[in-house]
Amino acid sequence: MTYLIIHLLHIFSVFIYGGFLFTDNLFLSRIKNDLNAEEHSRVREYFMKYVRQVVPKSLIVAVLSGIYLISVNFGPISEAGLSNFQILLGIKAFLGLWLGVRGVLQVFFGIQPLVFKSHTFPFILVVIIIFLSQLMFS
């Protein structure tokens, strides 16, 4: 039962984080084509006001629950080495941890990333993680 609850929390928090990246990259970035700079700034700031209350916390929940899930699902390493599942799960975990560390440093400590200052790169990583999630079981 604990596993199920943590898994559901993980999925829900990932939906929140991924949904924010999806909305920011596919909608808010396109709105500036229809609004002047001042209106776009106001709309974006209004959106971000609510995002800052929810998304960082959901990212932390996603990372912590992901760490628990990988500890349960990774399994023992056989003498033949890592299975394809373990390799893909490891890549997925690395990308998720990178997103988590980047997000925590940026939001809670004010450390801006040196590169990839937009949300495009994290969005691409989330899409890659989704594809890896699907490939792991095939």
Per-residue pLDDT of the chain (138 residues; tens, 9 = 90+): 999 999 999 999 999 999 999 998 888 888 888 888 898 889 888 888 998 889 989 999 999 999 999 999 998 999 999 999 999 999 999 999 999 888 888 888 888 776 667 788 889 999 999 999 999 877
pTM (2 decimals)?
0.84
- Count of structural domains within the chain: 1
> Tokens for 118?
């937009």
From CA 69, how far away is CA 73, in angstroms rounded?
A: 6
6 Cβ partners below 8 Å, 6+ apart? 65, 68, 69
Which residues form the domain of 37? 2-135
